[in-house]
Chains A and B, each alone.
Chain A
C-alpha cells in the first residue's frame, strides 16, 4: 500500500521544449495557427466587401492598400494560409474515417500538405492573374 499522506512529486509529461521538432508536429500546430490567422483575416475580407459596397471613393482607398506590394504580400499570405489550412483540414477529414494513421502515411501527408500548399497557392495566383 502506498502512503497517501506523503505528497509525491507527480511526473510531468514532457512538453514541446523536450522533443526535437518533427514535421508532423509542426504541421499540427501550423493548422491551428493558420486557422487563427484566417479568423482575423475574415476582418480584412469583410472590410474589403464593405468598401466595395460603399462606392468608388472608399473602395479605391481600400483596394489601393491591397494592391500595394505590402497589400499583395498580405493577400498572398492569406491565400497560402487558407490553402494550407484547407489541405490540413482535408487530412483531418481523412483521419476522421479512421484511415491514414500509419507512420509512413502520416509523414507523407505532412509533406504533401506543406509542399502542396506552396504549389497550389502559386498556381492559384498564376491562374487568377492569367484570366485578368
Chain B
C-alpha cells in the first residue's frame, strides 16, 4: 500500500512538453551555424603555423571577436540539443540517461564559458 494514488504515480511521466521548442532551437542554431562555422574554419586554417603575435592580433580584432563569440554561443547550444537527442535515442535506463544528460549540459556549458572567456581575453588584450 502506497501513500501515492495511481494517478499521481504516472503524472509527469509523459512528454516533457517542450519538444517544439527543442526542435525549433536546433533549427535556429543550425541556420546561425552556417556562416559562423564557415568564418571560424577560415580563421582556423589561416592561422595554422603562424606565430602567436599574428594569430592573437587576428583573433583579437573586434569583428573576429564578435563572430567567434556568436559562434561559441550558437554551437554549444546546438550541440547540447543534438547530443541530448542522441542520448535519448540510445540510453534507455533512466538513471544512466539522466546522468548522461547532465554530463552533456556540464560539458557544453564548460565549453561555452571557457571558449567565451578566451575570446574575450584575446579581444581585450589587443
Contacts and interface: CB of A to CB of B under 8 A. Distances in A.
A71 B122 CA distance: 23
A92 B82 CA distance: 13
Main secondary structure of the interface of A (DSSP, over half): helix
B49 A38 contact: no
Contacts of A67: 48-49
Q: How large is the interface on B (under 10, 10 to 19, 20 to 34, 35 or more residues)?
A: 35 or more
Contacts, number: 105
Interface string A59-73: 110010011000110
B52 A59 contact: yes
Contacts of A43: 111
Interface string A23-57: 00000000010011011001101101110110110
Contacts of A124: 38, 41-42, 45
Given A89-B33, A93-B31, A125-B45, A60 B52 contact: yes
17 contacts: A36-B83, A38-B79, A42-B115, A49-B59, A52-B56, A52-B118, A56-B53, A59-B55, A60-B52, A63-B49, A63-B55, A72-B48, A75-B45, A83-B41, A86-B37, A124-B45, A125-B45
Give the 8 A-B residue pairs with the shortest CB-CB distance, closest first.
Answer: A128-B45, A49-B118, A56-B52, A53-B118, A67-B49, A53-B121, A59-B52, A46-B115
